[in-house]
Structure 1
Amino acid sequence: MPETPDTASREAARFDALVAEADSVSVDGWDFSWLDGRATEQRPSWGYARAMGERMGRARAALDVQTGGGEVLASVPELPPLVVATESWAPNIARATALLHPRGAAVVADEDEPPLPFGDGAFDLVVSRHPVTTWWEEIARVLAPGGTYFSQQVGPASVFELVEYFLGPQPPEVRGARDPERARADAEAAGLDVVDLRAERLRTEFFDIGAVVYFLRKVIWMVPGFTVEAYRPQLRALHHQLETEGPFVAHTTRFLIEARKPV
């Protein structure tokens, strides 16, 4: 049926309300619970938080690189005697400190560039969930002999259906970045032995335009420089699509890598 003036008016009002709400809510930390009921993301089969927690329970000294707001590390049932987390973004540093200090973990402000502010061989476990960059030589340096690096990372072309909706088709070198096999090669070049490498492609759905706005404000590297005003025409068109055709479907890519430093 053709759109009536009343229908268009209601749709426009709903767009304005959803966008205003999503554009004003805090995006500090790495907690996505605001999206409950508004977006879904299939989880990798390996269960990173649980598996990381098991390794933490066996460690003596552990480092969580790029901890975000500290939410994943704070969920670990039993932390080692010595735990340190690094983070670069000021709001996340404050959030992580509030979560982790009661657990006995120290949060270090770090620019996420080499060198890591720790001595050689300081940790028998280094973990990182969704690092922006993995500095493999630094990971190898701060690991003790026999130590383990355990990380879940964003894979190639993750959620690119949404990225390319706003930015258009991306070149092969952009779509192919963050290849798990490249991570393997880089880890081995740094002197580490890769003992596990798994990748999965997972279904993600956005149910309303507010979920899209919140996601792009929070995951800032997806559409660099994203603001509602800069992309309002595309957001309006996508809102209409969501209202008339249902959820926007994209696919998240994730890989798990575990590497050990030879004794």
Structure 2
Amino acid sequence: MDCNILKQKWLLEENKKFKGWDFSYLDGRLEEEKLPWDYKSLISKYLNKDDMLLDMGTGGGEILLSLKHIYTNTSVTEGWQPNLKLCKETLEPLGITVKQVFDDKKLPFDDNTFNMVINRHEDYDAKEVRRILKNNGIFITQQVGGKNNEKLSRFLIHDFKSECHDFELNKEVNRFKNLDFSILYENEYFPYLKFFDVGAIVYFANIIEWEFPNFSVEKCFDKLCELESKIKTNGYVESIEHRFIIAAKNNK
């Protein structure tokens, strides 16, 4: 199909609403390689029934709710207004404490509040995490590393430069060790991400704006047409992601 005809479909993808942190709209249109660890299983390994739990950057609370932890022992933070509204509507009525946070160096909780803090793809400040954790409290974080989707970002965005290229496992592990955490588990992986149509790339790039700054169908049209040709030839466009995970115990 001619790119100029496809352009109208791509523009619709660009304007598609996004809610929570749910990419199920792209089911069947992309394929993400499975990680060699399971974030939820790692949490369950260390989370006790009566623990005070904080989920940083909970999104819409999708993963949190799947843990089925005692609601009144659970708190969440969220900074993005649409997600905060969703949390207020769905989590607060259950008894979960919801806090809006714009600066992860200043969390609205007292010292020594939580037995466990979890964090999936959210910023954190290691010193602040240590402050709010109880003695022997555990921090579990799965992070998007600084090399995530770099090749695709450079292809689509002229003069793209990652703001966090050096954000990686070893440096973060050393950061926690220097704060007197012991490392319970660590791993790093570079999984593939395959897109089976350009519209899925448009939808994805429009949401992940920090990796695709100033992306739009209009600005990137010629590049999108090149990707369309690659999909016609290969069946997909491949990007390489960057993930790492740390489980650390506070020894203060």
TM-score (ref. length: structure 1)? 0.87
2:233 pairs, out of 227, 244, 247, with 244
Superposed CA offset, 1:116-170 (max 9, x none):
1111001010000011x22000000000001000111112411222112123676
Superposed CA offset, 1:47-103 (max 9, x none):
112332444444521111111222111221333641110011100111233332344
Whole-angstrom distance in 1 between the partners of 2:68 and 2:163: 38
8 A contact 1:64–1:73 mirrored in 2: yes
Per mean C-alpha deviation after superposition, the further-off stretch among 28-37 and 18-27 is: 18-27
The corresponding residue for 2:220 is 231
The corresponding residue for 1:163 is 153
1:65 pairs, out of 56, 59, 62, with 56
User: Does 1:74 find its partner at 2:65?
Assistant: yes
Whole-angstrom distance in 2 between the partners of 1:119 and 1:29: 27
Q: 1:220 to 1:49 in 2, by over 3 A?
A: farther
Q: Secondary structure of 1:15's match? A: helix
Give the aligned length: 252
Q: Secondary structure of 2:104's match? A: coil
Q: Secondary structure of 1:195's match? A: strand
Whole-angstrom distance in 1 between the partners of 2:55 and 2:41: 15
The corresponding residue for 1:84 is 75
The corresponding residue for 2:210 is 221
8 A contact 1:60–1:80 mirrored in 2: no
Whole-angstrom distance in 1 between the partners of 2:142 and 2:193: 17
The corresponding residue for 1:198 is 187
User: Does 1:16 find its partner at 2:3?
Assistant: no
8 A contact 2:11–2:217 mirrored in 1: no
Per mean C-alpha deviation after superposition, the further-off stretch among 43-52 and 138-147 is: 43-52
Whole-angstrom distance in 1 between the partners of 2:136 and 2:71: 17
Q: Offset at 1:190?
A: 2.6
The corresponding residue for 1:108 is 99
| Cα root mean square deviation, aligned | 2.2
Q: Secondary structure of 1:196's match? A: strand
Whole-angstrom distance in 1 between the partners of 2:68 and 2:175: 32
Q: 1:225 to 1:56 in 2, by over 3 A?
A: farther
Whole-angstrom distance in 2 between the partners of 1:147 and 1:244: 51
TM-score (ref. length: structure 2)? 0.91
Q: Secondary structure of 1:230's match? A: coil
Q: 1:182 to 1:72 in 2, by over 3 A?
A: same
User: Does 1:184 find its partner at 2:177?
Assistant: no
1:36 pairs, out of 18, 27, 30, with 27
- What stretches of structure 1 of length at least 5 have no aligned partner? 1-9
User: Does 1:129 find its partner at 2:145?
Assistant: no
- What stretches of structure 2 of length at least 5 have no aligned partner? none
Superposed CA offset, 1:218-237 (max 9, x none):
11211122222222222222
Q: Secondary structure of 2:40's match? A: helix
Q: 1:24 to 1:73 in 2, by over 3 A?
A: same
8 A contact 2:71–2:95 mirrored in 1: no
Whole-angstrom distance in 2 between the partners of 1:189 and 1:259: 12
User: Does 1:147 find its partner at 2:141?
Assistant: no
The corresponding residue for 2:246 is 257
Structure 2 counterpart of 1:236, which letter? Answer: C
